[in-house]
Amino acid sequence: MPPELRRIFVISALLVMGIAVLWATQFDSMPPADFSIQNGTDPKTLDPHRATGQPESRILFGIFSGLLQMLPDGEPDPVTGLQPMSPQPAVAESWEVSDDKKTYTFHLRPDAVWSDGVPITSADFMWSWTRMLHPATACEYNFQLFSVPYAQEFNSGLVEIGDRCEVELFDRPNPDGTTEADTGQASFQAFPRGTMLYGTLKEIRKPPEPTFDDEAGKQLDEKEREQAILNWQETWVYVLDILNQAEPGQIDWDGPTTTQSFTVNLDSPQAAPETQRMHAVLVAFDQLGGIEAPDPHTFVVQLKDPLPYFPSLTAYYPLFPVPRHCIEEHGMPMWTKAENIVSNGAYQVKLRRLRDRVRLEKNPNWFDADQTSIETIDCLSTEGQNTALNMYVTGQIDWVTDPPVALMETLKERDDFYSAPMLSVYFYRLNTTRKPLDDPRVRRALALAIDRQQIVDQVTKAGQVPAFTLVPPGIAGYESPSGFQPDIAKAKQLLVEAGYPGGRGLPKVSVLYNTSEAHRAIAEVIQQQLQNNLNVKVELQNMEWGTFLDKISQLDYDIARSAWIGDYADPNTFLDMWVTDGAQNSTGWSNPDYDRLLQEAAAESDPGKRMQLLADAEAIWIEEMPVIPLYFYVSVNMVKPRIEGFFPSPQDLHPLHLLRIKSPASPTP
């Protein structure tokens, strides 16, 4: 290398090192937070309508508040130590429900404001629930609002002649102040929406359906067929009697109208010169009375069926309000950046460092800020179990959520170790759209060949209970049907019946899991068991959290590690995930009898009959086995003795604003 280049190289290296040192110095100079949590992986999003995991939920429950919140209620169970929780006032200071249990009226606090001081009104809940349900938002918890009239129809994107609809024109605003109509280019975001028109659907004009042969006469593959159908649907022209009403307000559906036509693709052969470009025609969910905001501090919700757990749903983060003014200013997903995000919980986001931490600070504008003790909290992106424990021992972490399984027997003896039963199940999803897992005999064979007792005794070691059903025990009034038991001989026979005697001819299957020593250890045991017991070859695949979630939602896997913590204390929260095309299904499994039983249970007002319908549905699920249940969780946490207000709960919920740091004068156990 010439001397001149060598000097340039040395100088460049020194500059890079200097920048790194300056960055590290700046980071090290940041004072530690008052309290720190091992949060696992980086949260994929801080948008309540896009989140779907514990790394996100711990933060979201801290920075957002719903109509209600889950808080301690009564004394802890003397045997398990579990602290009962119930929905209690949050943004809504009170509420009442009608005699038929189908109408809820929430009264919002007049002093409730966002973290930037902007008042929170019932219109925020109208807008937020509409956004949560909108097909483009792709919220995986949208089914939680399907009990509200027209919610499911709105979310499906399907409309029929005679439906009262909304039409969104092609003029969504862009963050730079332009609109789609100005640029001719589609905006990447669905909210804020463009101009909304309302009317009744009269007609859908469709060109001839596409054929599925290419120019050479070869059949298109599945993805090409789906794209061809999508392209065809975009050429449909919708004809509506549009109301002559400038502003939505209270829509007068009997008012004067003008017939107009709309399409996604103006090149459609069905389009006329007057046809307007639009994004979608959807059932007008927020204008049909399912949700109403009669005044700024009253929010009314109508239900199709009496749901005993509905108050608990309003305390779960997918139903939390999001700040319309912030989203409209910054767009998606920029509104969730630390420097932009506006929230309404006990805490607000101070900073976010990728693969490091999300720092929260007390929100002085929260309605109960006087009761929030800890000023700053760090949610650390620490996946390694041993790393987290070392940081705990050295005082860098106050709350460990994933202690090392190898040390579990020793850690369980400590006074700062908390473990208790919880409403949660660990399971493996099966992609029932892929061979050989499309055959229920193969799925059952895999389930029967797994020794769950070995997993809980030798791997997890914290008191987990082998699972042979889906719904965890402990839900009042519910008893799961008798499940299955490990039976290697039966598993081998099922493979013979499926055409794979001795495992011969069975394709290799892969198990996908997100980064975690515990998930890897469990997968390795199951890999060995299936090889030894059935001669089934299993490949293990490890992926970081965001990619892992994407793979599951896209059905791009064979077998995938998963878990579910009950959103509320009812078997429905474990069963309604698996309805046909459910957002949380992600297995491709469908059974019309199962769907019907859940629909009947939702409409059943007799508690005993309702529970029996749910048990009948679970029996179908057990028989067809779209998922392999492995064990029922126990909560496992380590919390520094200097922290007060931490307690085990059935859903492993720990409201951050209830935690306290003991004063130095307080005795330490």
CATH topology of domain 31-65+332-416+636-661: D-Maltodextrin-Binding Protein; domain 2 (3.40.190)
Helix (H, G, I), strand (E, B) or coil at 283: strand
**Residues 332/191, Cβ–Cβ less than 8 Å:** yes
pLDDT single digits (tens) 399-455: 999 999 889 999 999 999 999 999 999 999 999 999 999 999 999 999 999 999 999
**Residue in this structure with the two tokens 């529970």, named with its chain if needed:** 611
Q: Tokens in use for 73?
A: 């209620």
Packed helices 517-534 and 440-448: angle between N→C axes, nearest 10 degrees: 110
Does the structure show a pLDDT above 70 at 578? yes
Confidence (pLDDT) at 5: 36
The DSSP H or E segment spanning 488 is helix 488-497
| E-strand stretches of 234-328 | 237-243, 257-263, 276-283, 291-295, 298-302
Q: Which amino acid is at 210?
A: P
Please give the average per-residue pLDDT across 470-493, as a whole number: 94
Q: What are phi and psi of 339, to 5 degrees?
A: -80, -10
Alpha-carbon distance 32 to 600, whole Å? 53
Confidence (pLDDT) at 215: 60
pLDDT single digits (tens) 157-192: 999 999 999 999 999 988 778 899 888 888 877 788
Does the structure show a pLDDT above 80 at 18? no
**Residues 124/299, Cβ–Cβ less than 8 Å:** no
Distances (CA, A) of 448 to 529, 598, 629: 11, 26, 11
Q: Are strands 538-543 and 509-514 parallel, antiparallel or unpaired?
A: parallel
> Using 50, 70 and 90 to split pLDDT, how confident is the model at 474?
confident
Q: What are phi and psi of 387, to 5 degrees?
A: -60, -45
Does the structure show a pLDDT above 70 at 21? no
Please give the average per-residue pLDDT across 82-109, as a whole number: 96
The DSSP H or E segment spanning 63 is helix 54-63
pLDDT single digits (tens) 241-266: 999 976 656 788 999 999 999 999 99
HSE value, Cβ hemisphere, 13 Å, CA-based, for 353: 13
User: What end-to-end distance do the CA atoms of the chain give, in Å?
Assistant: 65
CATH topology of domain 420-634: Dipeptide-binding Protein; domain 3 (3.10.105)
- The strand order across the sheet containing 291-295 reads 92-97, 103-108, 298-302, 291-295
pLDDT single digits (tens) 513-551: 998 889 999 999 999 999 999 999 999 999 999 899 999
> Using 50, 70 and 90 to split pLDDT, how confident is the model at 223?
confident
Does the structure show a pLDDT above 70 at 1? no
Helix (H, G, I), strand (E, B) or coil at 88: strand
Q: Which is nearest to 471 in space by CA: 595, 609, 619, 602? A: 619
Q: How far from chain centre, in Å, is Cα 118?
A: 27
Confidence (pLDDT) at 184: 86
Does the structure show a pLDDT above 90 at 4? no
Mean predicted lDDT score pLDDT of the chain: 91
Q: Are strands 559-565 and 509-514 parallel, antiparallel or unpaired?
A: parallel
- The Cβ of residue 160 has, within 10 Å, a number of other Cβ atoms equal to 10
pLDDT single digits (tens) 364-385: 999 999 999 999 999 999 989 9
Q: Are strands 103-108 and 92-97 parallel, antiparallel or unpaired?
A: antiparallel
pLDDT single digits (tens) 261-290: 999 999 999 999 999 999 999 999 999 999
The C-alpha R_g of the chain, in whole angstroms, comes to 27
> Using 50, 70 and 90 to split pLDDT, how confident is the model at 632?
very high
Confidence (pLDDT) at 191: 83
Q: What are phi and psi of 325, to 5 degrees?
A: -65, -35
Confidence (pLDDT) at 29: 60
Residue ranges, CATH 3.40.190.10, the chain: 31-65+332-416+636-661
Q: How far from chain centre, in Å, is Cα 261?
A: 37
Residue ranges, CATH 3.10.105.10, the chain: 420-634
pLDDT single digits (tens) 124-138: 999 999 999 999 999
